[in-house]
Amino acid sequence: MVDAWRFPRRSSFDTEGEVQRVLGKLEAAGSANSLLRLVANSESTFRPFVLMADALLVRSGLPATIRELVILRVSAQLDVDYIRREHELAARASGLSDEAIATALEPDALAGNLDPDQRLALRVTGTLLAGQRLGDEDWQEMIDAWGGQGALDLVLAIGWWGGMVATTIRGLGAHGLDDDPTTVDDSPEMKGAL
């Protein structure tokens, strides 16, 4: 009975109600990855989980290139391979160069090949993942680069992938997420799923 606690990867065929509706739309969009299929075991939190991911992936004031660069850096700094696998394709699709992707995936790499906004995003990511606070100058630089919403969305993206998503993946790692070869397609948009 060792495996009795393991959660199945859900689909629209074995769920009902709101979970079934949202999963069906995610499946149709090619965005129902293994993590979402496992989170679908929680009826009360599945839709809010998807809503937050959707807000940060699709509706954010932060440019997709910056978001994906930050997500890759989070995956590298926290050593969460599942996040890296899920977002490498999205990073390329967003327009990030191979050099920028390689820099994001190497936490100690010098960011000389990146533009100023990319360097700012990685600096902020490093500061927050180190448990430090952002100063007024950091906020002003972020607002100058991406506006107020973009600056806040950057902090929320770091918190989402560096906190909630990374912790959930680690908690569910026994479910094979660490070795799961499943990745989303190169368009992680969830429009219409909600």
How remote is the C-alpha of 117 from its chain's centroid? 19
Q: Output the pLDDT for position 7.
A: 87
Q: What average pLDDT values come out for the chain (194 residues) when binned by 10 residues?
A: 71 95 95 92 96 95 96 94 91 93 83 88 96 97 98 98 94 66 40 49
Phi, psi of 135, deg, nearest 5 = -90, 175
Q: Please report the pLDDT score of residue 187 as a whole number.
A: 36
pLDDT at residue 176, rounded to an integer: 62
Phi, psi of 79 (to 5 degrees): 55, 55
The three-class DSSP label of residue 36 is helix
Domains and CATH numbers, the chain: 64-168 (1.20.1290)
Q: Nearest Cα to 57, choosing from 194, 193, 188? A: 188
As given in the structure block, the two tokens for residue 70 are 């930050």
